[in-house]
Amino acid sequence: MRTGILILVLIIFIPNVSALKITEFESNPVGGREGTEWIELYNDEGEDLDVSDWKIHDNIGERHVFDNGTIISSEEYYVVEFSNPVLNNGGDFIILYDATGTKIDETETLEESESGSKTWQLCDSWEFKSSTKGEENSCEEETLEEDPEEEPEEEVEEKTKEKKVVKKYREVVDPQVKEETEPIELEMINLNPKVIKTGDFKEELDKGNSYAIYGFAAFCILMIALFMLRKNKYKNEFN
């Protein structure tokens, strides 16, 4: 008798434990009211789960009843889609009840004021991340691409000045570089002896020859005079 009473108490007061979890939902999809709202459930049990007559509620009331014979396979992500907008974008929570009315799972009150592709996902806590509808949640930290650092205005102005100076310099210098210098014509001098002996060169050469003859004659006279003086000197010494 006591055993029967204990079993009855356990059935009444101990809630039904299920591994079916609310893991993700979209309350404000792309397109706003024209988009599709949805809720994702995940069966973490090692066996299939019959969810016939289970219910989904939000802060307004009942939103979905599972058809009789609905089975969610083990480790399956099951998505419930709504044909009309039902979830409150300004702040809503979702509750999952089994067929007996026992609360199986419940979310926090979460807000999605702007429509977009991000959804609320269950990681260690609820996080607003890029949608993984029907798949494992992306609980790793999302890295944002850093915008390239903007250069200070002073540096930009300095670079602009440098560009202007270079441009001005090129405008002044380039025409000088491009100017073509006139070629210098060199006068050819013919050093052929036959040519040199002709014309004016012949006259100059004749003058040179005359000077050479006169010089040689003067040298000979000087040598004879010196010889005669020396001869007379020796003659006087012997006398």
Q: What is the pLDDT of residues 120-148, one digit of tens each?
A: 999 999 999 999 999 999 888 755 555 54
pLDDT higher for 142 or 14?
Answer: 142
Residue that is last in its domain, among 80, 112, 130:
130
Task: Say if residue 116 is in the same domain as residue 16.
Answer: yes
Task: Say if residue 114 is in the same domain as residue 38.
Answer: yes
What CATH number should be reported for the domain holding residue 36? 2.60.40.1260
Radius of gyration of the chain (CA): 58
Inside any domain, residue 182: no
Name the pairing type of β-strands 71-72 and 20-26.
unpaired
Inside any domain, residue 120: yes
Residue that is last in its domain, among 130, 151, 178:
130
Find, among 73, 94, 112, 101, the residue nearest to 16 by Cα: 101
Find, among 147, 94, 98, the residue nearest to 119 by Cα: 94
pLDDT at 176: 46
pLDDT in tens, 79-126: 999 989 999 988 999 999 999 999 999 999 999 888 899 999 999 999
Task: Work out the burial of residue 27: count CB atoms within 10 Å of its CB; fewer than 13 is exposed, 13-18 middle, 19 or more buried.
Answer: buried
Inside any domain, residue 174: no
pLDDT greater than 90 at residue 230: no
Q: How many domains does the chain have?
A: 2
Task: Say if residue 104 is in the same domain as residue 11.
Answer: yes
Find, among 31, 127, 135, 119, the residue nearest to 77 by Cα: 135
Task: Say if residue 123 is in the same domain as residue 8.
Answer: yes
Task: Say if residue 214 is in the same domain as residue 118.
Answer: no
Task: Say if residue 197 is in the same domain as residue 126.
Answer: no
Task: Say if residue 18 is in the same domain as residue 104.
Answer: yes
Q: Which domain holds residue 199?
A: 193-238
pLDDT at 13: 44
CA dihedral 152, 155, 157, 161 (to 10 degrees): -170
Quick one: pLDDT band at residue 73, thresholds 50, 70, 90?
very high
Task: Say if residue 10 is in the same domain as residue 91.
Answer: yes
Inside any domain, residue 57: yes
Task: Say if residue 118 is in the same domain as residue 212.
Answer: no
Inside any domain, residue 185: no
Whole-number Cα distances in Å, 104 to 22, 25, 80, 169: 9, 17, 16, 79
Residue that is last in its domain, among 83, 101, 130:
130
Inside any domain, residue 187: no
Quick one: pLDDT band at residue 217, thresholds 50, 70, 90?
confident
The number of beta carbons lying within 10 Å of the beta carbon of residue 189 is 6
Quick one: pLDDT band at residue 238, thresholds 50, 70, 90?
low
Contact between 176 and 168 under an 8 Å Cβ cutoff? The reply is: no
Average pLDDT, the chain: 77
The number of beta carbons lying within 10 Å of the beta carbon of residue 160 is 10
The number of beta carbons lying within 10 Å of the beta carbon of residue 50 is 14
Under DSSP, the state recorded for 138 is -
Under DSSP, the state recorded for 33 is G
Task: Say if residue 114 is in the same domain as residue 231.
Answer: no
Integer Cα distance of 79 and 77 in angstroms: 7
Inside any domain, residue 216: yes
Structure tokens at 120: 């609320």
Sequence-ordered alpha helix ranges (H) in the chain: 2-13, 153-178, 193-196, 200-238
Task: Say if residue 204 is in the same domain as residue 112.
Answer: no
Inside any domain, residue 78: yes
